[in-house]
Amino acid sequence: MDIQKIKASFQSHFGKDAYPYIFFSPGRINLIGEHTDYNLGYVCPAAIDKGIYVAISPNGTDTVNLFAMDQKDEPAVYSFDIRSGQLPALRWAKYIYGATMETVGNGVNVKGYDALITGDLPDGAGLSSSAALVCAFLFALDSLFGTGNTDRFTLARMGQAVEHKYLGLKCGIMDQFASLHGKKDNLILLDCRSLEYDYIPINTKGFRLVMLNTCVKHALGTEYNERRQSCENGVAALKKVYPAIESLRDATVEQIDSVKDSLSETDYRRSKYVIQEDNRVLETRSALNEGNMQQLGDILYAGHDGESKWFEISCAESDFLVQIAKECGVTGARQMGGGFGGCVINLVKEELYDNFIKTAQKLFADRFGHQILVYPISVGQGTCRLA
């Protein structure tokens, strides 16, 4: 995006004398590993070159004034007093309020500020726009009002706390971690228990990674928390027989099968999916290290099958796009993100790319009456100050 245009928009809204600092926080893809993060398992995300841009300037008061330039579902302008302790009514403003309060709780003397929010990251597409928004503000507020030296582990934890405490979403830490720790042309293999991580170079020569957005917007809430509860139920059943198990990450397929009769069918299937998905993440590391793109594609298809039939977080539109991918000879595809819509990630051979996109666009529109959106993926850097 054009930084000068963002500055000009800020000054048009808040006043010509205002000089904003510009911060960027990326969205993320997660190549494999859905709903494994809060089960203390493994994930394989990467930051992308699309994200949230924040133009921000202290205003010398205790009032925060916000302008969400791209907001269409709710009012785009909102203000709150830092000292009021009152949670905003607008959903998008809750994220910023939460980031502000968590920064205060981290010992930073945050004062009032004016901020414009924009970006090129589609909301509700499974690219973690909310995590990008929160991380942009956490990083910006620490830079402007604190020392700017808060480590990124701590910022990721604070971002997770925003979702838990102010939005009621018991998410894991992957989205915030990926947004803050992204490295160009590298995936991140993250152990969500220890928070140890490795960068894995991704070499897709001869292939393209592309997101197809179903435009089925998802706002996670009850369904997400229900699945987390199913996983906790699975752990509770396992611990009765295998006391050393602390999370599904510790269990094997054979162990969850052995306690099947003590679980509801839903809890069993969801728990088994998580165990299998953890295994797929580790298999992905091997495939990438060996440059075995066919194996990687098979892992992606298996991941979608688990999402759709076992964890039940897919939707008709995502299932349809994955089926088209198979019919077009795409190496691998799966729905990405928390579920119930959003984007399908595809690993496509260069020579098949144009025909696949054209076919998917036509068949999807014929079936569902609206167009998909196409996002070629570039793996990029993490949260940073741009100006």
Catalytic residue IDs: 175
What is the rounded CA–CA span in Å between residue 274 and residue 268?
Answer: 10
Both structure tokens of 14? 């808040």
| Residue 244: burial class (beta carbons within 10 Å; 0-12, 13-18, 19+) | exposed
